[in-house]
Amino acid sequence: MNIPTSQALFEKANQFIPGGVNSPVRAFKAVGGTPLFIKSAKGPYIFDEDGNRYLELINSWGPMILGHGHELVEKAVSDAVQHSFSFGAPTRREVEMAERIVGMVPSVEKVRMVNSGTEATMSAIRVARGFTGRDKIIKFEGCYHGHADSFLIAAGSGAVTFGTPDSPGVPKGVAQDTLTAPYNNLEAVQLLVDANPGQIAAIIIEPVVGNMGCVLPETGFLEGLRSICDKEGIIYIFDEVMTGFRLSKGGAQERFGVLPDMTTLGKIIGGGMPVGAYGGKEEIMNYVSPAGPVYQAGTLSGNPIAMAAGLAMLDYLDTHQEIYLQLDQSGVKLAQGFRASMEKLGLNYTVNQIGSMYTLFFTDQVVRDFPSAKSSDLGLYGKYFHAMLNRGIYLGASQFESMFLSTALEDSHLEEIMRANEESLKEILA
Ligand code: PLP
């Protein structure tokens, strides 16, 4: 792969930006090499500054579920910019957006817009604490809920990729209020709850994990947490920043039929613009200022351009639910293709997949929690990543990420990915 422009830009970026990037995983540190500087993208493809073309399996880490540059989202944005970019005052589109979210996400009765997934989870936790009058929260090892202090404890995604799942700078006092349990382990959660009676404000979970690679909840796990929360008066929070509008139009909660008390959203909800949201039961959300005492605000929250993009995206998803069948079929096709290739090559690596999310783990263990995810051979993942990149396939630059399919991937693209996968496995194991 010829990438002199990316190399020059990265060198310059390192002079002015810490690590040369504005979000750590972009730096390719876990897989080695120079990050690609992206110039444009359309449909299933992205193009780097040197004019190389790649098939997209990242899709901006999830938002671009319809592929890049969908015409309805583009039109909504170009219409919206005619009327200025921000007012700092209420707008019609925010009402439409809230109504649309409440209509699509089963457990959400009221919702507040913010500007990122991090803001959504950070605010949801504050509301849960304010509502219950309790301080402690439970999160799961390897789950990532953005970079707010309370969540950088045993965190997944870039935090684990760079060996700092517990970041310096998080005050001890904050860290001690975050309790962690292994994913898919109800007993461990019950033990934590028993040891801290009346003190747990919330349990927050990725209902399907994307941030230690793709890890699925085992049967009964999400339901079991629901009953623990019910018994103990704990607020159950689904962090659906990745899974929302992706695993179904109503997210993981609709797919699994388990309803949380609060939900955090991001990524797809902005159609590619910086948007997040948190919502939930009316009695809880009425604690949010100015309706209630828990303060949370944002100069650019509900930004008109971002709302236009997000609304166009959600409108499309709500009225074209057949796309979820297409995405499921694409996911299954890839997972089956990968498994068939591995059988042919005498390999026994693990493919976790649900709908349009998947991860190929370089381990023969069943990957069901953080330790099993970490049993992957990370060096091998790095080689695989580059072998795929050289064949024009753009993957997540870490083993601890999920891939995200889009509706722009047609059968011929899926065949190309499967071919590249088999060739890459052969190459790195030769
Ligand atoms: N929650 C989950 C499940 C995420 O995957 C992410 C980001 O990847 C976040 C929260 C944080 O979102 P953002 O990066 O928009 O702050």
Residues 38-61 pLDDT 10s: 999 999 999 999 999 999 999 999
Q: How many CB atoms lie within 10 A of CB 90?
A: 9
Distance of alpha carbon 327 from the chain centroid = 16
Residue type, 142: G
- Closest approach atom of ligand 1 to CA 61: 8
Enumerate the domain spans of the chain: 4-69+321-429, 71-319
117 CB within 6 A, ligand 1: yes
The per-residue pLDDT for 164 is 54
CB of 190 within 8 A of CB of 228?
A: yes
Residue 145 Cα, ligand 1 centroid: separation in angstroms? 5
**Mean pLDDT of the 334-352 span:** 97
398 CB within 6 A, ligand 1: no
Distance of alpha carbon 2 from the chain centroid = 30
Asked whether this chain's domains 4-69+321-429 and 71-319 adopt the same fold, the reply is: no
239 CB within 6 A, ligand 1: yes
**Mean pLDDT of the 297-322 span:** 98
Residue 408 Cα, ligand 1 centroid: separation in angstroms? 23
**Mean pLDDT of the 198-211 span:** 98
Q: Which residues are known to be catalytic?
A: 144, 239, 267
CB of 24 within 8 A of CB of 157?
A: no
Q: Which CATH number is 71-319 given?
A: 3.40.640.10
The neighbouring-strand residues paired with 353 are 358
Q: With 70 as the cut, is the pLDDT of residue 159 above it? A: no
Those residues with Cβ within 8 angstroms of residue 401's Cβ, 6 or more apart along the chain or in another chain = 25, 61, 157, 210, 211, 213, 359
- Closest approach atom of ligand 1 to CA 243: 3
Higher pLDDT among residues 331 and 153, named by residue: 331
The per-residue pLDDT for 154 is 78
- DSSP H/E element including 48: strand 45-48
Nearest CA to ligand 1 atom 10: 145
Pocket test for ligand 1, best of 26, 64, 144 (most atoms within 8 A of CB): 144
Nearest CA to ligand 1 atom 7: 146
Nearest CA to ligand 1 atom 8: 146
Q: With 90 as the cut, is the pLDDT of residue 165 above it? A: no
The per-residue pLDDT for 172 is 86
**Mean pLDDT of the 229-246 span:** 98
The per-residue pLDDT for 153 is 83
Average pLDDT, the chain: 96
The per-residue pLDDT for 161 is 59
Q: Decide yes or no: CATH 3.90.1150.10 for domain 4-69+321-429.
A: yes
Mapping DSSP onto H, E and C, the string for 216-271 reads CCCCCHHHHHHHHHHHHCCEEEEECCCCCCCCCCCHHHHHHCCCCCEEEECHHHHE
Q: How many CB atoms lie within 10 A of CB 291?
A: 12
pLDDT more than 90, % of the chain:
94
